[in-house]
Each structure stands twice: as structure tokens, then as C-alpha cells.
């Protein structure tokens, strides 16, 4: 069994980026989106910091928080060979209704790919007062869109 990280959230969080489960690299580095080829942090820093290169993980987290962006995964734990969501088995869900109740400023869930959205929708449906946005996955496994196309879509949502 592998487990997700604690949520990155505070009283100023207005949008939560919802992933499925940390990759092998993310778990090894103990960082959300820790795979160096994952484009999440590059997108976030392009949108909010003019493309500045983050100094370290603390810089990444503080930048996300300073812009009202939180992070958590839909799955609390699962069994999985490798990093692909298609290999997930025996999953247990995180308690998003309680998180949202405890953080009432969160008004948008931004799903990093289709899989996190599908798990969430199946478990919780449409929660009242929360906007859902499904984004192209920033994972290196998603080669359907190039970086510029992903950046444009993510920027629209992150800046809304």
C-alpha cells in the first residue's frame, strides 16, 4: 500500500488542485509533483511568477499558498505498480467533504487529469457551492497536448 501526502491548505485557499496519487518519484522525494518531468510546478510558476525557477520545495509550496492554491489527492491510499493511474487497486478515498467544510473559502476543485475527477465524482458527486474544472494532466505520461497548450488551459482556470 502507498499513501498520499497531507493536504497543502490554509485559511486563504480558494482553489484545490486534486491529483490521483503521488507518483513513484513524488513519493521518493516526499513532494507533490516531484517527478522532474511533471509540468505542474512549471505551469504554476509560469502563471504566477513569470516563469521564475523555484528555489526548492518550500518555495513551491509557499508560492502555491500565496496564490490561494492548495493541493491534495483524491486517494488516501492504494496498491499500485509504478506510477500509472491505470495500475491502481484497492483504493481508499480522502475525506474531501470534511476538508471543504473545514476550509469554506475553497470554491473550486481543479482536477489534474480525468482520473482524479472520475474517482471524485463517483464518490462525492457534485458538491454544492463548489465549481469543478477538469484540466489536462501535467504528468509526463500525458503527451496529448504540448506544454504551451496545457499552460493556456491551466492559466485560464488558475486566474479565474
* DSSP 8-state class, residue 6: P
pLDDT tops 80 at residue 143: no
CA dist., res. 153 & res. 96, Å (int): 24
Q: Which of the residues 38, 94, 112, 115 is marked catalytic? A: 38
Q: Which residue has the cell 503521488?
A: 22
Average pLDDT of the chain to the nearest whole number: 94
What number is the average pLDDT over the span 136-149?
Answer: 86
pTM: 0.94
pLDDT tops 80 at residue 144: no
| pLDDT band with cut points at 50, 70 and 90 for residue 141 | confident
Choose the weakest-confidence range: 83-87, 89-93, 107-111.
83-87
| Cell numbers that stand for 97 in this block | 467533504
Whole-number pLDDT of residue 30: 96
Whole-number pLDDT of residue 85: 75
Q: Does residue 112 have an active-site annotation?
A: no
Choose the weakest-confidence range: 36-40, 82-86, 89-93, 123-127.
82-86
Termini Cα distance of the chain: 37
Q: Which residue has the cell 476543485?
A: 109
State the burial class of residue 24 (Cβ atoms within 10 Å of its Cβ: 0-12, 13-18, 19+). Answer: middle
Domains of the chain: 2-158 (3.40.470.10)
Bridge partner list, 3:
77
| CB 9, CB 72: distance < 8 Å | yes
pLDDT tops 80 at residue 109: yes
Give the residue from 10, 127, 134 showing the smallest Cα distance to 69: 10
Amino acid at each position: 500500500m502507498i499513501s498520499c501526502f497531507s493536504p497543502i491548505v490554509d485559511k486563504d485557499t480558494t482553489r484545490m488542485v486534486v491529483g490521483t496519487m503521488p507518483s513513484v518519484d513524488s513519493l521518493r522525494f516526499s513532494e507533490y509533483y516531484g517527478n522532474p518531468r511533471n509540468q505542474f510546478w512549471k505551469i504554476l510558476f509560469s502563471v504566477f511568477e513569470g516563469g521564475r525557477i523555484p528555489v526548492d520545495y518550500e518555495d513551491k509550496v509557499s508560492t502555491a499558498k500565496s496564490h490561494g492554491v492548495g493541493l491534495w489527492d483524491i486517494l488516501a491510499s492504494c496498491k499500485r505498480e509504478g506510477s500509472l493511474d491505470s495500475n491502481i487497486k484497492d483504493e481508499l478515498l480522502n475525506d474531501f467533504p470534511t476538508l471543504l467544510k473545514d476550509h469554506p473559502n475553497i470554491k473550486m476543485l481543479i482536477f489534474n487529469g480525468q482520473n482524479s475527477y472520475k474517482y471524485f465524482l463517483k464518490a462525492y458527486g457534485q458538491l454544492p457551492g463548489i465549481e469543478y474544472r477538469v484540466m489536462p494532466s501535467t504528468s509526463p505520461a500525458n503527451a496529448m497536448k504540448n506544454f504551451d497548450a496545457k499552460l493556456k488551459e491551466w492559466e485560464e482556470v488558475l486566474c479565474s
